[in-house]
Amino acid sequence: MKDIYFENDYGRLYEQIENGVCEVFEFQHPLGKVNHLFIKRPISMDMTEEAFYDITTPYGYGGPRIVDCEEVHKSELIQDFQYAFEEYCQNENIVCEFVRFHPLFSNAKDFEACYELTFRRFTTGTNLKDYEDPVKSEFSRSKQKSIQKALNAGVEYRVIVDPPDLENFKHLYYETMKRRDAASIYYFDDAYFNGLLKSFGKNIIVVEVLYEGKVIASGLNFVYGKFIHIHLSGTTQEHQYLSSAFVMRYALVLWGKEHGMELIHEGGGLTGSPEDPLYLFKKQFGKNTEFPFYVSYKIWNQKVYDLLCEVVGVDKVNASFPNYRSKPLNLVKD
């Protein structure tokens, strides 16, 4: 169970964004080993000098994972992990935890005795392993036609492995985020992109789509093991009619198939609705492929959690998790 989202350096990229510190809880046991990577975030409480924290999965996916264990011993290993991690959370004053389990692996089901699972949505992707021609088998007919039309009109593409910089990509990405009025969390800064190149340059491929010599779309993707993760992308407004976003995926499929990749993971939509527009868009490049995505809202210290919610004055039923972070005030340091 290896992927870029489980790498320590990946988690560290989001320390500034989450205003926390990336930590790994390593549970060693005679029956096996469990690793759990998360961002530990401070909570400022005016009513006490004692420091409290909450923890969250870094941007993307993660959660605890079994590194080594025979199948027959999994349940015992996970039970003992729960005891050890609960003690760790009590000792470290960790109030609660938000986990985004990895949809491509079984760690959600592995740890369902420890974490109450909430199905969030399906994610999708393009299956490269099981189809000789993934474009024909996984792409919708309308997208195939649009791609062919764009290529006939003179649209070109190139794939850049281990790019020396991300300047062209950043320009298009920021332009797209501004056009979509995206939330501030999606405006990754130069430090983030520089950190990506430094830690994972060899795991990055950039797909550029060109028309009349101009880059009209660019996508930043992760390659790790046999997986390709579509991470971020940007397009120009004036060239939308050339289906540049479709051509990016087409190029990625050709490159992935040629290099022995097994899956391009697209991710999911913005909501859990099967009619979510973003999900339906992504599904047109993975007609036959989807993965269940689970999260968990774990409270490790109910007393302190309730106190925080009471001080904030938040409705614990309808607010986001953790509930006390749903309202900005001096209780929580941003």
User: By C-alpha distance, which of 15, 109, 10 is closest to 61?
Assistant: 10
Helix (H, G, I), strand (E, B) or coil at 182: coil
Q: What is the pLDDT of residue 310?
A: 87
123-292: CATH topology is Aminopeptidase (3.40.630)
Q: What is the pLDDT of residue 332?
A: 44
Which tokens in the block code for residue 118?
A: 């909430």
Alpha helix (H) residue ranges in 134-239: 134-138, 141-152, 167-179, 190-200
User: By C-alpha distance, which of 61, 70, 71 is closest to 37?
Assistant: 61
Q: What is the pLDDT of residue 319?
A: 65
Q: What is the pLDDT of residue 81?
A: 97
Q: What is the pLDDT of residue 334?
A: 40
User: By C-alpha distance, which of 145, 92, 139, 168 is closest to 254?
Assistant: 139
Query: For the chain, what are the domain ranges?
Result: 4-115+301-325, 123-292
Q: Along the chain (334 residues), what's the average pLDDT of each consecutive run of 10 residues?
A: 95 95 97 97 76 96 95 94 98 98 97 97 98 98 98 98 96 94 88 97 98 97 98 96 98 98 96 92 97 98 92 75 73 43
User: By C-alpha distance, which of 121, 136, 129, 93 is closest to 287?
Assistant: 136
Q: pTM above 0.75?
A: yes
Angle at 195 between CA 194 and CA 197, to 5 degrees: 65
Distance CA 155, CA 148 (A): 10
Distance CA 90, CA 259 (A): 47
